[in-house]
Structure 1
């Protein structure tokens, strides 16, 4: 990615997701007004992907308590998502929307398309209620992500958004001290 997407507004899209046993429309408008995580992965019926999506499913209630919706996205169709959901015990426990992006529009909008393969990178995007990207993480294909670490980062993003003038230091966890950047702190940390 040549330019950072941090603090940029998400681009318009319309797609179909498999969610709660149905095919439902999802658009960029659905991501606005609340915190969202858009979780790209290469493909259904693969190896690392189900471990990541299952980990998110196991932590989904915690994200929901924070008012966060999760959207998983791959370049598979919503039909393929349903078939995977119906055939895999791990994927069967998913309660968040699984967006199909067979045209790659959403994947390209977020800059994570592997053009020669037609697949998405392992990209994670945290989007604030204004529709602006606050966190970006992209992993190589063989490196799985951790939902608990993502949850910590979302809490930090929400804290900073609701406490102007404060920042969260490395390894910050909810309830721990934050920093208020000032001239007095320069060289003291």
Structure 2
């Protein structure tokens, strides 16, 4: 699996656009998104196994609820699976909590990105439940993979993004606004 400190792989994939449901139709729903689509921004890319499943919509909806918080931190949320853009679109149309999803849904149909990241579950042939925080220079600063049956905590991902953006030492359970560790003070003690 790709590690913290590695360059995130280049990608250029078709996605279902992250627009309100009433603003999209079959003529404007699909967009191409690449690693260069959000210059100067952090990217938080989270993968899920399959559309039309049970854990996945709970996670996607929970990330979507925090979309404004991520945007306030100059971060673009992106979600991805190995399903097609057509399956993504059908799922969005029929899954109530995903209808107004403000997050683009990447279709890694050829499994090139999931393979490059090392998160292709060989038994399922689908993406593992992984999340990456990528800095504006394209460097992976955080990664996490959970079992296919276990959902993630988007608030924890946001907390980690906050900590990374301080560019300081942050203790266990640090939250935005808490004191960071002053290395000079800590070594003097």
TM-score by length of 2: 0.90
Equivalent position of 1:173 in the other structure: 175
SS in 2 for 1:30: coil
Q: 1:17 aligns with which of 12, 15, 18?
A: 15
Q: How much does 1:10 deviate?
A: 1.1
Q: Per the alignment, in what secondary structure is the counterpart of residue 167 of structure 1? A: coil
* Structure 1 counterpart of 2:86, from 56, 76, 79: 79
Instruction: Return closer, same or farther for 1:186/1:141 CA change in 2, 3 Å cut-off.
Output: farther
Q: Which runs of 4+ in 1 moved over 6 A?
A: none
State the Cα RMSD in Å.
Answer: 1.6
Within the alignment, does 1:7 sit opposite 2:5 as a pair? yes
Q: Quickly say closer, same or farther: Cα 1:175–1:25, change in 2 above 3 A.
A: same
Q: Is the 8 A contact 1:167 1:178 kept in 2?
A: yes
Normalization by structure 1: what TM-score?
0.90
2-structure distance, mates of 1:36, 1:68: 5
Whether the aligned pair in 2 keeps the contact of 1:112 and 1:120 (CA below 8 Å) is yes
Q: Does 1:158 align with 2:165?
A: yes
The answer on whether the counterparts of 1:31 and 1:127 sit within 8 Å (CA) in structure 2 is no
Contact 1:54-1:93 within 8 A present in 2 as well: no
Return the alpha-carbon distance in structure 1 between the equivalents of residues 132 and 35 of structure 2: 13
SS at match of 2:182: coil
Instruction: String of CA shifts for 1:93-143, please: whole Å, max 9, x gaps.
Output: 311110001100111122110123210111000000000000001111111
- Residue number in structure 2 paired with 1:27: 34
- The unaligned stretches of length 5 or more in structure 1 are 161-165
Deviation for aligned residue 1:186: 5.6
Question: What's the offset of the Cα at 1:187?
Answer: 11
Q: Is the 8 A contact 1:107 1:120 kept in 2?
A: yes
